[in-house]
Amino acid sequence: MHPGSAMLSRRRFVGLAGGAAASSVVATNMWAEATGGPVALFDGRTLEGWNQLENNATSLSSGEIADPGVFANRLATSTDAVSTFLRSDLDDSVKAGIASYSASGANWKATISALVKELNQVIAGPSIYDAARFRGVVLRPETAKLLKKNPTGQQLARLNMLLLEDAYPAELTKSTTTGWMVKDGAMASTGSGRGVIYTVKDYSRFRLMFTMRHVSGMPDHQACVLIFCTRPSAEGMPLDALGGIQFQVPNGGHWDYRPGKNTAGGPEFAVVTKAQFDVHSWSRVEILADAEKGTARMAVAQPSGSKAVEVLDFKDARAGKAGPIAWQMHNAGLFDEYKDVTIEVDPKDDNLITVS
């Protein structure tokens, strides 16, 4: 390269950007953005650039009731102010169900399911806090801190959830707002519960590349990637799975979480190859997506570094939307790992590059 050339080498770019400090992933991304190349979405050390959203942080599930019998009995008969308040809000059929609850009864699962559904309506509603109602209830520091903020939307639901857990410390398990961690250089799910980790930025037309493996699950489910997602707002409750389109990796299962859908979908999903990859081994995955067209294609290579095969295609212009990209922990008890995550925005090549 001629010394007077307007073109800039990567070495000179890093030097201008700040020497040693710029030789990190940040500098690599600066270089990639300047030249139109792929950008790292994960540095192998922190979860910076990603947000976490755990469903059980703002809603209750049957599995989070530690002792359904004790909980049902307390709601049905206790005279404490919180139980009296909740009982007054329950449908008559649910009141009757918990009053006669028995774990050996034929309808015990339906009873708890109906109870959980109604309690989640309470959690998603106005603040349940009242000084007299919660007199005698020991509030955790997290609860007390959030209470002082007079939260709204998703944070208000979180407060209501914490208040219920504090009122029923023996009956309800403690929820968490984090379900992902960095483990041995990979983004790893902790099995804590259903939820997502999603990018801080929105993306429209992109090539997403990552290496992944499914470690274990109890109950088991394929690892899941979500695209064309709806970003949660501070004011309202987030959509389940961010209302996105799910690609199950590496073997190509799928689901449509758009509002009003929640199905496996139809002809918009096309299985290109009926893959039988070992989910417990590392796979290299490429997803090429275009929100404007509502298209996405997925190719998988196993072992990582080998030639990939196209596994799954999606096409529905109505589904395409700019939004975050997410890994989904489908249910509690799942352990998945992702690493070497990069994204190329507005790729010059409209083809899957790992299949050639």
Mean pLDDT of 57-78: 92
Amino acid in position 187: M
Give the pLDDT confidence score for residue 105 in this predicted structure: 77
pLDDT at 92: 95
Predicted confidence at residue 61, as pLDDT, reads: 87
State the first-to-last Cα distance of the chain, in angstroms, to the nearest integer: 31
pLDDT score of 64: 87
pLDDT value at position 280? 98
Residue 103 confidence (pLDDT): 74
In the chain, pLDDT over 90 holds for what percent of residues?
A: 79
Determine the pLDDT at residue 30.
57
- Model pLDDT, residue 6: 40
Distance, CA of 200 to CA of 203 (rounded, Å): 10
Model confidence at 3, pLDDT cuts 50, 70, 90, reads very low
Provide the residue type at 199 as one letter: T
Each residue's pLDDT tens digit, 240-278: 999 999 999 999 999 999 999 999 999 999 999 999 999
Q: What is the pLDDT of residue 340?
A: 98
Percent of the chain with pLDDT over 70: 90
Residue 24, pLDDT above cutoff 60: no
Mean pLDDT of the 196-217 span? 98
What is the pLDDT averaged over residues 36-64?
A: 92
pLDDT of residue 20: 44
- DSSP helix/strand/coil, 307: coil
> 3-state secondary structure string, the chain?
CCCCCCCCCHHHHHHHHHHHHHHCHHHHHHHHHHHCCCEECCCCCCCCCEEEEEHHHCCCCHHHECCHHHHHHHHHHCCCHHHHHHHHHCCHHHHHHHHCCCCCCCCHHHHHHHHHHHHHHHHCCCCCCCCCCCCCCCCCHHHHHHHHCCCCHHHHHHHHHHHHHHHCCCCECCCCCCCEEEECCEEEECCCCCEEEEECCCECEEEEEEEEEEEEECCCCCEEEEECCCCCCCCCCCCHHHHCEEEEECCCCEEECCCCCCECCCCCEEECCCCCCCCCCCEEEEEEEECCCCEEEEEEECCCCCCCEEEEEEECCCCCCCECCEEEECCCCEEEEEEEEEEEECCCCCCCCCCC
Selection from 241, 248, 327, 262 nearest residue 55 by Cα: 241
Asked if the model's pLDDT at residue 99 lies above 60, the reply is yes
* Alpha-carbon distances of 194 from 65, 189, 332, 349, rounded to whole Å: 15, 10, 6, 35
Mean pLDDT of the chain: 90
For 324-347, write each residue's pLDDT tens digit.
999 999 998 999 999 999 999 999
pTM equals 0.80
pLDDT of residue 22: 41
Give the span between the Cα atoms of 202 and 93, in whole angstroms. Answer: 44
8 A C-beta contact, residue 254 and residue 314: yes
On whether the CB atoms of residues 245 and 228 are closer than 8 A, the answer is: yes
Give pLDDT, residue 62.
Answer: 87
Q: Which residues pair with 180 in a beta bridge?
A: 189
- Give Cβ neighbours of residue 93 (< 8 Å, ≥ 6 apart): 114
C-beta neighbour count of 310 within 10 angstroms:
20
Least confident span in 89-103, 118-132, 134-148, 285-299: 89-103
3-state class of 160 per DSSP?
A: helix
User: What pLDDT, on a 0 to 100 scale, did the predictor assign at position 355?
Assistant: 96
Both tokens of residue 119? 């309690």
Tell me what pLDDT residue 19 has: 46
Residue range 56-76: mean pLDDT, rounded:
91
Output the pLDDT for position 28. Answer: 52
